[in-house]
Amino acid sequence: MANYGYEDGMLVQVISATDTALGQMRTLNGQVVGISGQLPVVNNSTSGVKLSGLLSDWTTDYNKIVSELENLNTKAQALLTTNRNVEQETGSAPQ
């Protein structure tokens, strides 16, 4: 049933895709954090300082991306729940 223009199947796909993306982002961030922890030890030069700045940008961007993915996921889950509640309350009556 399509409530609010969104099919349940599409919402399930959005939820699954955002869950997958969040997992991938967290894995990638773990790798970036691991490398950035080694940076001061192996590259204490001008290029190391620049790279450190870029890693700081990564942290800001990462947090923003994860927050937006979580927000999208939460909204899709809420809409899916609403769709299913409406469907249950109406008994899937034809419209």
25 token code pair: 């982002």
pLDDT at 53: 85
User: Please, what sign has the CA dihedral across residues 11, 17, 20, 26?
Assistant: negative
Once rounded to an integer, what is the mean pLDDT over residues 69-87?
93
For residue 80, pLDDT beyond 90: yes
Each residue's pLDDT tens digit, 36-57: 877 766 677 887 778 888 888 9
5 three-state secondary structure: coil
Look at phi and psi of residue 75 and say left if phi exceeds 0, alpha if psi is from -120 to 50, else beta. Answer: alpha
